[in-house]
Structure 1
Amino acid sequence: MDDTPGSTSDRLLAAGLDALLDLTPADLVSAVGTRRIAARAGLSAATLLHHFGSVAAYADALVARVFDPGNLPMEDLEAAIARVVRSGLPVEAGDAYHRSEFARLTTDRGLRLRMGLWALGAGTTDGIYRDYLRTTDRRLHRVTDALVAGWGREFRPPFTTPIYVAAQVALLNGMAIRHLVDPDLSTDDRFSLAASSLTMISLRLQGDRHDMADRIAEVNYYPLRRSRGGVSTAEGHRTRAALLAAAAELFGTRGYAETTVAQIARHAGLSSSTLYKHFEGKDAVAGALFRKQAEDALEAGVARRTPSSDSLGDHLAAVAAFVGDRREYAAAYLTDLLINRPDVEADPFLAATLPLVARRFAEPPTSGDVASQAAADPAEVAQALLGVLIGRVLARPADLPGVQAAHALRLVLGGRLAPLPG
């Protein structure tokens, strides 16, 4: 047989596929034959036509029976989900529920009929099948909401109760069909794991602000940590700058707490995965933005040649004022400063503070010096000053910047503190 494209065999096969796709339920009944169908019931074809009037009407009645929501044991399903809600170990109860549903569906002849009539219904059953699914789904919404609330969870946007139920039903149908044709690969334990995983990733603690894009990006982030080298390219620098600009705008309009990684990425016209190639998360974005703005502010200060630019106290007061305008995300910078201990050259505030600290150490101690700090490392002192200062600003934002600076100097330098002007 010649199966090459354009051959007679190929044309006949293509025509056969088109004919199958054009079948309607009435065509299927005619192909089986009303006589054969009636004989199964011990009746005649005339009796069948007497009761239904025509082959088309009989086919419509068959479709209505196959897609009758009343055939689904909803009371049993609702009772099973209610047991999960009441269970002290919802994971175990959920596993038992998923396995029982898998067993029910893989032995349900109606599954094959629904799939067959939909597939060979020439599109006439699309709306009927949709209505069947939506009707049966709606009966699960109430118990699903009770289950989620009982766990102290809520759906992670854009998931909602209808979307979640539809996804679980689709997963169940798909894996049940696969089991019927490939039982070694699709089993009840594998379905239970897949269904439980869908539940875990689609739910979040009440009050959590992270949406589904954030969660997927977080899961996808870990293998990307090893390959974050692209940021050194010109394109990488442009991408990083776009992300920082988007973060600055969103932090200013929405607030730091209300802004998510996914929102920053979308605002920059990028994906969350791209953001995670450049930053480890929202805190890392905030720390980088803080440093970029600090660098810009210091450059602007040098350009204006402020009279007190060589005064450590005035410098720290200026830093306090800068931090006060960015309290929401200054904490991310403070954490990085104290825990990760960045290089002086990589941190604009450290780089600007270090020479002023070194100059202060070169001066004779003031009277009343409580402890000699001649052996102290100026870089560590600069880091401590900034840490104490920023912590003070975050803890007592109502204090004036000069007061906050004086507190940091007194706490870190003790007797080396010269009185601040005014």
Structure 2
Amino acid sequence: MSKVVEISPTTRHEGHSKLVLKVNEAGIIETGNWLSITPVRGVERLAVGKTMEQVPKIASRVCGICPIAHTLAGVESMEASIKCEIPRDAHLLRVVLQCANRLHSHALHNILTLPDMYIPGTDTKINPFTPEEPVRSVAKRIQRLREIAQTVGEIAGGEAIHPSNPRIGGMYKACSPQAKTKMYDLAKEGLVLAHAQMDFMIAVLRNYQNRDWTDVGGKQIAIPKTLGYHDQGYLATHPVYGSSSLDECPTWDPSRFSENRPWDWYMGESEITLEDPTYPIGGTTKMGTKANPQMEACTGIPCYDGAPVEVGPRARMVQFKNFDEKGTIGQQVARQMEYPDCLTAMIAALDEYNPNGKIVADYIPQGDGSMGWAANEAPRGMDVHMAKVKGGKVLWYSMLVPTTWNFATCSAALKG
């Protein structure tokens, strides 16, 4: 007989969400619902009536991990609506900023991943905060990668968090020759560290993949060989940066996008009939509690060609590098493989960047109400912002953030 268990809140990710799982007598998941329980975000509504310069600043506050991605997607959705092409050197600075954001996020994600991993050849889990070797050297490398990324983000973006330099029509300030050299030197240092960190992370991930069990709350839990497998498609617009409706050949099509109600997708009301007080972070929800994912979920279910898709590192690797490994470990390996790309793309952009080049468009239209969109390949996946601007004011604004795309796909991956 099936039982229902709830894990609320889930941890080690940005935002607020929970899992509602229907499991069989053996504890195998028959139906999994991962859903956002964040109160109504309201950013899209706040944007209406604001100037097109204000809205990207507001949008950057949506996520503490990806303010750069939301800033760039927000700015570029406005530019797409008003049909404003920016100078090449302004775009190159945005690419540098984008790469810095992804580098920092991937390094931070390693800190979230490592506590589940084991030191190869042992049954000792990795504590990224231990002062002991060999983990201490790894932690220092992660922190240096984060420091490099944040420093480059501050130089190119004005600030690493809520960057102030991107503007409608380009960038406010150019980076001097000295600043370019500084970023270039940091990128070269980071490339060496990124290769080493990629190799280390893939090694511990493969070690985990080869294990028969893992410890969760003091219990030995068997690791399925198909952990995290799903049959959904993948969606990415670019290996590094993104796309917009201004592109000659856009790689996202709004006519293929649709959105379903949580009511049509998630489980209805049910009673919690299974609990585990030993589950980490305070145990699972108490038996007898009511759960209703249909009513509690606060996001729609975005679909492309009528079906949920996966966005993120693996989607980019599948789309652009013929990567084909499925499951949770495949997703993690793909993320590590993006490490060097962050730095090589940053170096390529800096090589081309001219500190004396133009960084603001000669003419910035005020918009006629046309819809424009921009898809930014944020660290965790494709971040689509859509906007309608008229007379410099925002008439309509919508955001399709990476986790929203992934909720339904991750739910499907829980089954079995």
* TM value normalised by structure 2: 0.19
Structure number with the higher helix fraction is 1
* TM value normalised by structure 1: 0.19
Structure number with the higher strand fraction is 2
Asked which structure has the greater RCO (Cα within 8 Å, sep 6+), the reply is 2
